[in-house]
Amino acid sequence: MALDPQLLEILACPDTHHAPLDYDPQAQTLTCTECGRIFEVRDDVPVLLLDEARGGPAADGGRDASAVDR
């Protein structure tokens, strides 16, 4: 089952920029158009938790990752 198109129109990244998300029905993921975080869709429910997202600023050596190294 695919996500409702009306739901997809209002979903946004839970990070502070609230950018739109691109849906990949094959992979069952939502990808932030700004930060690149990838959120899973489990049993037709988007899991928009930053702690469970893959990719994004910390994963690619961005600001969050460099702050930890200091």
More confident residue, 8 or 62: 8
5-69 to CATH, choices 2.20.25.10, 3.40.50.720, 3.90.180.10, 2.30.30.40: 2.20.25.10
Q: pTM of this prediction?
A: 0.79
Can you tell me whether residue 24 is helix, strand or coil?
strand
Give the pair of three-digit tokens for residue 44. Answer: 């037709």
pLDDT in tens, 19-57: 999 999 999 999 999 999 999 999 999 999 999 999 987
What is the Cβ-side half-sphere exposure of residue 35, based on CA atoms within 13 angstroms? 24
Confidence category of residue 17, pLDDT binned at 50, 70, 90: very high
